Structure 1
Amino acid sequence: MISHRRSTRILSQSLRLALLLASSGLAATVAAAAAVPAPAETPGNPELADIVVTATRSGAESLQKVAIPISVVNVDQITKSNQGNLVDLAKFSPSLAITEGAPGFNKFNMRGLSTGGYRTSDTSDRSLVAVYLDDTPISVQGQTPDLKVYDLERVEILRGPQGTLFGAGSMAGTIRFVTAKPDLNKFFGSVEADGAGTEHGNGSYNARGMVNLPVVAGQLAIRGNFYIGKDGGFIDNIGAYNRKDANSNRTTQARVAARWTPTDKLTVDGSFTYEQSRAHGLNTAFSGLPAYTTSTNSPEGTSDKFRLYQLGADYDLGFADFIATAAYTDRDIGFNASVEPQIGYFFQDYGSKLPIGTGTYPVFTAPTTYNQAITNALPAEKYTINNKIKDFMIEGRLASKNDGPVKWTAGVFYETQKRHLIQDIPTPGFDTLSYENYFYGPFATPTGRYDSKLVDGAFSSNDIFSGLQDVDEHQVAVYADGTWHVTPKLDLTAGLRYFNFEEKYFLFEGGVYGVINHVPLTQNATLKSNGVNPRANISYKPNDDLLIYAEAAKGFRYGGANQPVPVGTTGVAGQCAANLASYGYTAAPLTFGPDKLWNYTIGEKAKLADGRVTLNASAYYIDWQDVQTRLLLNCSYFFTANKGKITSKGLELESMVKVSPEFTLSLGGSINDSRANGDIPTVGAFNGDHTPYFPKLVFNFGAFYDVPVGNGELHLQGNYQFQSNQNTTFNRFSTTIVNGVLTKNGASSTFATIPESSNVSLSVAYDIGNFEFGIFGNNLTNGVKITNIARATYYQIYQAGSSVTYARPRTIGGRVKVKF
């Protein structure tokens, strides 16, 4: 394994080498980021093709002339290498980390801004990285839809706060999927099929197609595409729910778009995007079992049904373009986990010497070591979350023409979102097999026996937890952003966004895990916030091939409501009260407020060696304050509070070189140092502790070769990416508060280190006329294996080690594409 110190030296030496090679015309390509040639690249061209972006929302511009750090992912290249999943984006951008537990269940972290993992039941967990499909925000913290990277013009990854133009939730950065628009004059399309085999798993396949159809030449066209695929499973389940390759996933996606240009001044776009996925298992297993092996007693998996309706218009007013967009999102998200070890203590004999296994409590004698037979005997805990989201947004903006001394954009944004989450944990047999009757009966029921519904207000009998959360949010924002071309070489940019936000929140919790003295918990909360977020940028162009810039920008995200924490004198409520008191609370706060940061960036973008080399670098310093941190209490409840500061600083490099008309190389990376600035008691962080879930070092190398062979063109590409290890918490200690001071209290039962990873991928494609054939291999050395770790705590006697999330092992396959 490569040590962090050695890895840092490797990157430092590599960056110096890149600078040296660049000056001689032999440099290397895009950093741990957009390490792919430009989409418009053509074999035989001695120069790198220009990359166009629309990240400033004021029209198309050259990537090299936009004075902010942006990576652009080449869709054609990742399609050829069969790396079109959402999580694959982290392979092509510096300062970006994506943690995925199952398809559609992921968390984006950028530039080290992280305080921990995510919880599927926390509706108030706010995104730090906004994900957009064209002009529509689609991200939900931990649950961004896994839209396959297909039929897009490009993917733009903007690093640093983008609050002025993209609003809350983009305080760390923004990812934009820019779709390919209908062509008004040409009929064309393609059909493609892929097949692959995965080590330790079964086969995968997908089919996709696209067609562009002009209806009225020059005025009206329709473009449609589809994707149907199965990702073969590679996790074996040896529990009572015995399945081989249990985590297969099926996905169906489609998009239809129309473009209408009734006049030269007006363009109208409309589209419908559909995605439905169903994972029949999670990508998690247990460290105490053979690799890629789990144990559950009931099915697991995820589901996602995503429907997005978009309508937009662009009208040329002469002095400016008026752009209006509206979108409606209708989404249903499902999550199922089988976590029987966590309830094992309900069914074990506590020395009462009752008969075992008679159909009533107890089910078994308490084990002294892990016993698979006993784990298999646990009643199936069917942990279920269903999340319904309905979102409507509308935006209107004016973007001036770029023909005067000032270029400006101004707009108004409105969004309303309703979210209905139901959380339920039906556990067949719980009412009679658990210790409830033995220790706490008789109950005030017709039979005197325990009943989850009658005693603890659960949705049904044999139901240990039932809960619902209703969230109703509204936000309105007004923004303006302008650039003054002071001289042909000097630009000054300033932006401002005013926001006003309101949230209404209702919660109900029943079942044995959601009551205090058999009374269900409820919560009503209202939150309002408003503020102003500015940015300022200065850029200087000594010549046409060099841009130097500096920026200061404020980022923000909204606050929210907390789930209740029971407070009492006995049982769980008594334990919660003691936990709260140790942190200086008599009760959990009803709400938490916005957090904010200032990001300072300096950077340069250069073209060298007569256009054969690009070399882009940026350095940043971030001051994050009033951080939204989640306090996990020992009684299993949690709440969010604005506590502490975090400082993040780092360096990012992106470079590209055309060594010859046929050969392009890539080299780059990012270094991040993100730490607690002072103690943060809510997450047990001491001053100087590194933030969790973010690699300090990312390094990327790529090679691309295009050459005519016979009547066609041969394309070869290879990529290597290294990520240093990551911790799951700020440090390895358990902490407590002593006389108001955060104090170490032994070893942490939850701390883990996610190992470093090395990802190698290769692909070959041969394009001949209307046909394209290819082979590909991903994670060829199995250098990416474990991507997340969750330690077992009080229930470890019933679980075979820690819960570990596995990446897809070595996968090799082939593809064929027909164009018409």
Structure 2
Amino acid sequence: MRHCMAAIRQSLMASVVLMVVPFWSGAAHAQQAAGQGALNRSPAVGADGQAQADEIVVTAQKREQRLMDVPISISAYSQEALDKRGIKDISDVAAATPGLNFGSTGVYNRVTIRGISTGARGGSQGVGSSTTAIYVDDIPIQARPIGGGAGVYTSATPKIFDLERVEVLRGPQGTLFGGGALGGAVRFITPEPNLKEFTGYARAEMSDTSGGGISNEAGVAVGGPIVEDKLGFRVSGWHRRDGGYIDHLSLIPGGVRQRNADKADSYVGRAALTFKPSESIRITPSIYAQDVHSYDLGTFSALDSDADDGKFLVTTPLLSPVRDKFFIPSLRMQADFSGVTATSITTYFHRNHQTDTDYTFVLPLSLSGSLPTSLDQYQITHIDTRQRNFTQELRLSASEPSARLQWTIGGFYNRAKTTGFQTIESPRIGDYIPGVVLLPGGLSYRATAPVTNTELAGYANFEYRFFDTLSVIAGVRVSRLKEDFHIITEGPLGGGFVEINGKQRETAVTPKFGINFKPDPDNLFYVSAAKGFRPGGVNKALPTISSACAAATAALGASNLGDYQSDSLWSYEVGSKNSLMGGRLNLSFSAYHIKWKNIQSSVRVPQCLGAFVANFGDAKSDGFDLAVDARLTKNLLAGLSVGYTRAVYTNDNISGGRIYTHSGDQIADIPPWNIVASLQYNFELTENVQGYGRIENRYQSRNKGNLTLLDPTNANFDPAVRRNESVNQLNLRAGVLYGGLDLSVFVNNVLNDHPLLNVYFSRITADYGASTIRPRTLGVSATYRW
């Protein structure tokens, strides 16, 4: 049956490709024949002087530009496009975007661009700081490591409702976006209040997942002038319940037995006010808030489940809930004067991330090799992570689009205090370690890790147009970074009382250079070189749960690991953006070569069920991404995006007689190929009612290269690891449009594909389960815009 499904998928993909490729060739020939007819065509502009909906405007260079004019590989999605494709969160964005990968174990997640990842399981639980910057407007919200594991350093990811657009910037963006953008950046851009007219947006949806529960959502956004041209507002609120599809059936009597236990509730709210006292000044205070509560991990036991039959089970005795909530108050002030725009952005990011993970099987298996027999032998770890980030940015930029010199200079300050709290509650650990002395409350482990990071940076970016068709770009960012940490671990699993204090200081310089050739408004060719870096961090002491663990840490000199340093890379890219046949065919292409040095890497200590971070290994990432949008006929639209990445180590790394990397090993289990193909047919039902049908297939290939965790000669070898399977998701949607109403029915994952992802064949921790994409889901959705 699986072979039949694979054949169907391949034929579907081939059909779309065969339809697009001949048209592409014909379009290129027709463009040559057209001569100079389209060379002076300007972008579509409405009566208010703003670009129309089909002319996407982005701010990837911290100034408004047509997507067509930006010499960066970017995928940009408007809210309407996100709705049409059923994209609700960053995992959906990653599935639809070449070069972008998202991995999750329920507690940890990692966002990876162009293979720049140090997460062994496809980026789901990475090493060191995040390699991808996450922004809400101009506000960085990604997390930093906390004591090497005393807290959860997974980054917050906004849900998608009432956004102006989502931008995915591929390649290092260190010059304008700082140290978190080693591989790229994902930006969630919110709409500003309208000062001229009232507008609104509403969305509601209900769906049913095969073998799972009902999902539903409802939200509304509205805004407009309070005083026309002077004062306006926009407010929004949204809730979504994701029905679960993983059953929690405890192996121990008295434990949890609950169907669809992995359900989740998400709440998002935003309020913004814009005051325009004069034509040249705009002041916008706003607040964004999000609260996501997952009642159990979205992972399951690979041993006890039957993925082919769509049955997913968790067998631990306790639930492992996750709660992630944050709010972001901000103040944006902008003033225009004498050809210059001055912008000030002041923000505060307040986040609490809490998780309880069932450790009931961890210690018994590690210490005695047997499972507990009663619920009172439970073990559970509580992790509470708190982020308190203050950010101030000031920048000046040229405001005359026709000027030969376009420039942006700015200063950036960030103070991020992150505190991780972790405890392991194990009142019956004495059954496995006779004579052990617990901390109050039956705790076998307790860690507190306050870490304060500060960054003071200045940056400048210039683009000078020598001729009407040729320009050069040069930019640089100089960052001074400081980290202060004070880490305390206690309890028998921490080897008693251990205290680590320290400071880390470094200065990073990230330049960028580029040459752009733009023969006409519809074609852009560019080459660029850019540097990215990732700040270093600090390790905490490893838990010493046995004499073997203590011996292993002593042999590695790992009792007090201290800090690890930053790593950096250079990316070299060539690309083009082309609009042909009067806009009927749009192409975007880029190819890149990345050289990565001094990589923050994981050193596993199996005897301690843990790892620490060290700098070793060099790597390279080579690949390309291609996006094609074509209007095949008046009513038939086709889309194709292809991303290819090959990210491998370039040297053998041996330390202490142990091999950690071989030249040619994959950096992580990242899918080499990402292919998304779509067809949409629009038709008229009546004079006022239009209909449409859409088919979209999202494919991620299996990584068949050498993985370090699967190499028996590697020090990090783990025989329990299984390679990620390929992912194929076929989605269908059909709907009608009447005025501002879009009413549609959809089927996601039509073929009910259940690939096993992030698999560890063990019951040791929840991270050693498996995950998959949501099974076949049938639903109805309605959006309304006015």
Q: Same fold (TM over 0.5)?
A: yes
**Residue 189 (structure 2) pairs with residue 223 (structure 1):** no
Match of 1:422 in 2: 421
* 1:692 is aligned to 2:668: yes
Residues 589-625 of structure 1 show CA distances to partners (whole Å, capped at 9, x for unaligned) of 4111110000000011111122211111110000000
Task: Determine if contact 2:16/2:678 at 8 Å carries over to the other structure.
Answer: no
Give the 5 Å matches for 1:132-151.
Answer: 132-140=135-143, 143-151=154-162
Counterpart of 1:811 (choices 751, 769, 777) is 777
1:709-742 residue CA offsets vs partner (Å, 9 max, x unmatched): 223222322210110124798335455xxxxxxx
Q: Residues 107 and 118 of structure 1 are in contact (CA less than 8 Å); yes or no, is this contact kept in structure 2?
A: no
Aligned residue identity for 1:694: I
Please give the secondary structure, in 2, of the residue aligned with 1:754: coil
Paired residue type of 1:718: I
The answer to whether 1:78 aligns with 2:82 is yes
State which of 156, 166, 191 in structure 2 corresponds to 1:180. 191
Q: Within 5 Å, give how 1:789-804 maps onto structure 2.
A: 789-792=759-762, 803-804=769-770
* Counterpart check, 1:671 vs 2:648: no
Task: Work out whether 1:88 is the aligned partner of 2:68.
Answer: no
Partner of 2:118: 115
- In structure 1, the residue matched to 2:166 is 155
In 2, the alpha carbon distance for the partners of 1:388 and 1:727 equals: 38
Structure 1 counterpart of 2:383 = 385
Which amino acid letter does the alignment assign opposite residue 245 of structure 1? N
- Looking at structure 1, the residues matched to 44 and 481 of structure 2 have their Cα atoms a distance apart, in angstroms, of 40
Residues 293-347 of structure 1, C-alpha deviation per residue, up to 9 Å, x if partnerless?
0111122111011110011011002121001101001110011211322111478
Give the counterpart letter for 1:523 in structure 2: I
Describe the shift of the 1:801–1:527 C-alpha distance in structure 2 as closer, same or farther (beyond 3 A). closer
Point out which structure has higher relative CO (alpha carbons under 8 A, 6+ apart). Answer: 1
Q: Which residue of 2 aligns with 1:731?
A: 708
In the alignment, the residues of structure 2 paired with residue 140 and residue 283 of structure 1 have an alpha-carbon distance, to the nearest angstrom, of 21
Does the 8 Å contact 1:791/1:801 carry over to 2?
A: no
Q: Which residue of 716, 728, 733 corresponds with 1:758?
A: 728
CA 1:661/1:74 → structure 2, altered by over 3 Å: closer, same or farther?
A: farther
Does the alignment pair 1:317 with 2:355?
no
Q: Residue 610 of structure 1: SS of its match in structure 2?
A: helix
Q: Distance between the aligned counterparts of 1:19 and 1:748, measured in 2? A: 43
2 CA distance for matches of 1:668 and 1:346? Answer: 46
Give the whole-Å Cα distance in 2 for the aligned partners of 1:511 and 1:268: 52
Spell out, residue by residue over 1:368-388, the C-alpha distance to the aligned partner (whole angstroms, 9 max, x if none): xxx8xx566572221211001
Cα gap change, 1:746/1:600 in structure 2, threshold over 3 Å: closer, same or farther?
Answer: closer
Shift in alpha-carbon separation, 1:766–1:554, aligned structure 2, 3 A: same
C-alpha deviation, 1:790, in angstroms: 2.5
Which of residues 340, 356, 359 in structure 2 aligns to 1:336? 356
CA distance in 2, matches of 1:744, 1:131: 33
Which residue is 2:748 aligned to?
778
Residue matched to 1:395: 393
Matches within 5 A, 1:197-208: 197-208=208-219
The counterpart of 2:347, out of the listed 305, 315, 327, is 327
Specify the alignment match of 1:293 in structure 2.
313
Conserved 8 A contact 1:39-1:76: no
Decide whether aligned partners of structure 1 residues 127 and 9 sit closer, same or farther in structure 2, where only a CA change above 3 A counts.
Answer: farther
Which residue of the partner structure matches residue 25 of structure 2?
23
Which residue of the partner structure matches residue 639 of structure 1?
Answer: 612
Q: CA offset at residue 756 of structure 1? A: 0.2
Distance (whole Å) between structure 1 residues aligned to residue 618 and residue 366 of structure 2? 40
Residue 393 of structure 1, CA deviation: 0.2
Could you report, residue by residue, the CA deviation over 1:502-537 in whole angstroms, capped at 9, with x for unpaired residues?
00011111222111xxx3121112100002111100
Q: In structure 2, what is the Cα distance between the partners aligned to 1:252 and 1:564?
A: 37
Q: Which runs of 4+ in 1 moved over 6 A?
A: 1-4, 6-17, 38-41, 118-124, 566-569
Q: Say if 1:672 and 1:696, in contact at 8 Å, map to a contact too.
A: yes
Listed one character per residue, the Cα deviations across residues 236-259 of structure 1 (whole Å, up to 9, x for unaligned) are 111022111111101111001111
Asked if structure 1 preserves the Cα contact closer than 8 Å seen for 2:424 and 2:446, the reply is yes
8 Å CA contact 2:322–2:355 kept in 1: the answer is yes
Partner of 2:737: 767
Instruction: Tell whether 2:299 aligns with 1:284.
Output: yes
Classify the secondary structure of the residue corresponding to 1:343: helix
Q: Using the TM superposition, give the Cα deviation of residue 770 of structure 1 relative to its aligned residue in structure 2, in angstroms.
A: 5.0
In the other structure, the counterpart of 1:590 is: 562
- In the alignment, the residues of structure 2 paired with residue 209 and residue 746 of structure 1 have an alpha-carbon distance, to the nearest angstrom, of 49
Cα contact 1:691–1:729 (8 A) shared by 2: no
What amino acid sits opposite 1:394 in the alignment? Q
After TM superposition, the structure 1 = structure 2 runs for residues 555-704 of structure 1, keeping only pairs within 5 Å, are 555-565=532-542, 571-578=548-555, 580=556, 585=557, 589-636=561-608, 637-681=610-654, 684-704=660-680
Q: 1:598 to 1:815 in 2, by over 3 A?
A: same
Q: Distance in 2 between matches of 1:398 and 1:766?
A: 45
Residue of 210, 214, 217 corresponding to 2:221: 210
- 1:44 matched residue in structure 2: none
The aligned residue for residue 106 of structure 1 is 109
Distance 1:273 1:285, change over 3 A: same
CA 1:568/1:755 → structure 2, altered by over 3 Å: closer, same or farther?
A: closer
> 5+ residue gaps in structure 1?
28-37, 42-46, 349-365, 442-449, 454-459, 736-742
Distance 1:92 1:347 in 2: 44
Query: Deviation of residue 776 (structure 1)?
Result: 1.4
Per the alignment, residue 512 of structure 1 pairs with 492
Is the contact made by 2:541 and 2:560 (CA closer than 8 Å) also made in structure 1? yes
Per the TM alignment, residue 634 of structure 1 is displaced from its structure 2 partner at its CA by: 2.7
Q: TM-score, normalised by structure 2?
A: 0.88
Distance 1:546 1:784, change over 3 A: farther
For the residue of structure 2 that corresponds to 1:87, the secondary structure is helix
Q: Distance in 2 between matches of 1:745 and 1:263?
A: 65
Report the TM-score when normalising by structure 1.
0.85
Q: Check 1:146–1:729 CA distance in 2 against 1; reply closer, same or farther (3 A cut).
A: farther
**Residues 567 and 587, structure 1, Cα contact 8 Å, conserved in 2:** no
Secondary structure class of the residue paired with 1:262:
strand
Aligned to 2:691: 714
Contact 1:430 1:463 in 2 (8 A): no
Partner of 1:467: 447
Alpha-carbon displacement from aligned partner over 1:178-233 (angstroms, at most 9, x marks no partner): 11111111123243321111112111111100111311011111101111121111
Give the alignment's Cα RMSD to 1 decimal. Answer: 3.3
Q: How far apart in 1 are the matches of 2:364 and 2:546?
A: 25
Q: Number of matched residues?
A: 743
C-alpha contact 1:79 1:150 (8 A) present in aligned 2: no
Aligned to 1:549: 526
Larger mean Cα displacement after TM superposition, 675-684 or 255-264: 675-684
1:452 matched to 2:438? The reply is yes
Q: 1:514 to 1:531 in 2, by over 3 A?
A: same
Counterparts of 1:727 and 1:377 in 2: how far apart (Å)? 42
Describe the shift of the 1:425–1:566 C-alpha distance in structure 2 as closer, same or farther (beyond 3 A).
closer
Structure 1's 146 and 629: CA in aligned 2 closer, same or farther, altered over 3 A?
A: same
Q: Kindly provide the amino acid, as one letter, of the partner of residue 598 in structure 1.
A: W
Q: 1:465 Cα shift?
A: 1.5
- Tell me the residue number matched to 2:461: 481
CA contact (8 A) 2:492 2:545 kept: no
Distance in structure 1 (CA, Å) of the matches to 2:670 and 2:324? 27
1:483 aligns to what SS in structure 2?
A: strand
Question: Displacement of 1:778 after TM fit?
Answer: 1.2
Q: Which residue of 1 aligns with 2:36?
A: none
Assess, with a 3 A threshold, how the Cα gap between structure 1 residues 744 and 467 changes in structure 2: closer, same or farther. Answer: closer
C-alpha distance after superposition, 1:515-572 (max 9, x if no partner): 1xxx312111210000211110001123332211100000001111111247999553
Pair 1:50 & 2:55 matched: yes
Residues 701-710 or 170-179, more deviating = 701-710
Unmatched segments (≥5 aa) in structure 2: 30-42, 47-51, 145-152, 307-311
Cα separation, 2, equivalents of 1:120 and 1:506: 28
